[in-house]
Structure 1
Amino acid sequence: MVESRRDGGRNPTTYDTIPFSRDSFFVERPILDLILQRTSELGTRIGVVGLGGLAIEYAYRIRDTYLKPWVFWVHASSAVRFEESYRQIAAYLQLPGWSEPKMDVLRLVHAFLSDETHGQWRMVVDNADTAEVMFESSHDGMDTNITTPPTELSLSEYLPRSAKGSILITSRSRDVLEGMDLVRKLDYMPLAITQAAAYINQRAPRIDLSWYIEMLQKDNSERSRLLQKHISDPRRDRKASNSIIITCMFDREAIPDYLLRGQYTSAHDSEIGFEDDLATLRAYNLIGIDMKNHLFNMHSLVQLSTRTWLEIHKGGLERWQERYIEVMGAAFPEANYDN
């Protein structure tokens, strides 16, 4: 039985789920060194078209390094095989509840590997060839044979994110790899991904993934025009949260919660309402939370889209800029460098 790493990130056991034997006749290729170098930068995701044999050799070389990280192999040719791979990972790690019939093993493994205290790992996502498999949620027609409960998330959103891990994706489709790149550039935010997919689908074939990614990399004025395009999403809460509005005025990193708690609210808001707002924002990955230091952070795209939304409502941006100044003035009444 493999020991689960719950001891602050130490690495007591080498672990892998590589399903193939190593090819003793593997022919060395320069691209392998490049892949090893790129994935050594933890937190990265890279994609390669084809080269299945190369991915096997990559997995064994990573496993045998002095770091001895965990190496996970995930079959992505179908939703069923993807879930089976995650269930195998959960079983060997003996994650709590993994064997329960109704357990959401996708969420279980994602949460475990996204926790940086569980040590270093690498993942190979093999044969991610079909966009429908990787990017459609179960509500949108994903394979109904999987046992995980239906969800609004696509399989691509269950790939873990951690500064202690990296992912190599193999595919025979450049469209799938471009889709993965778009998901990464949107910081894995479900609402942003939904909007991007709907925008592209409504304008295909003239608009494709490459065009959308190119627009996201342009200056803020172009990105703002893109974000102003309204796409209906039945999951979206029509009431704009005060917390997301005022948060967009701050620098987007390391926002102390005391600057928002009890100061931004109106007479009708409450502590419970504040926590409800935070729960909604976190559910859509619109903000991140550093629990140790009680800090919030916001992706640049969320900040830009919120400001853009305020600008198209007459006087909205100016009013919230004034409210931001009031909050900062109350928190730092004296202009001293020390505070």
Structure 2
Amino acid sequence: MVARARAMLAMRGIISFARGVDFVKRGTLLNELCKKCALLNASHAVVGLGGAGKSQLAIEHAYRTREQSPETWVFWAIAGRQDPQANIFKLVYDWLHDSKERWLLVLDNVDDARFLLDVQAYGPGQAADSRSAARLLRDYLPYCERGLVLITTRNKEAALKLVEQRDIITVAPMDEAQAQALFEKKLGVQRDNSDVTELAAALEYMPLAIVQAAAYISQSAPRCSVAQYLEEFRRSDGEKTSLLDHEAGHLRRDREAKNSIIITW
């Protein structure tokens, strides 16, 4: 059973999302995250508005961890999801806690930490032993000298239920230069393009909104230019929602990622 559990987790010891080839460095944010995460036996949280780029920052850090420390296991979990047929919380906890290897566990999208304060639920046919029956889900987050837990969330209150204030990294929207650089990578336009500058400002320099706008423009070309998109976007709140709800078709995270920018707006 132990061997089977290790084999299953070993297969999951991969980063769940492709690396962003158009990743734009956000000042010192990535360096700050890497510096904090250099210390093991700790938890850190990346906090910011939906669509601000929290998960992309975590994805880039995860890949850099893999490059710089190939022996480190990297696990990715979407908060609030579990397999009712398996006590995955305990499985992951036992494997990471007992592992002799270094590891990084990314707990993505912890926007409501209350579920971590619930008692572990068991699926059909499962039985809770006396030691684990009353354990909170939060207790299954492993802390040991070889590991690190990295959390992403829109909710600072949720983050503070899991980490200390000093362990929080705040992700704000991009600045103008960063937003224009992202548009340039996505659309191949020059940074001095006035329409791009105006559209980046209209999108409030939010990375996810920029990615979705660029995808819409690219897929609609030549029928839709940056200027035409900007005109439609400014027309009404309904147009904004419709444009931001565009399915880019290549987003690396699930639909919740796309919805987060609509909620933010």
Q: TM-score, normalised by structure 1?
A: 0.39
CA radius of gyration, larger in: 1
Higher relative CO (Cα under 8 Å, sequence separation at least 6) belongs to 2
Q: Normalized against structure 2, the TM-score is what?
A: 0.49
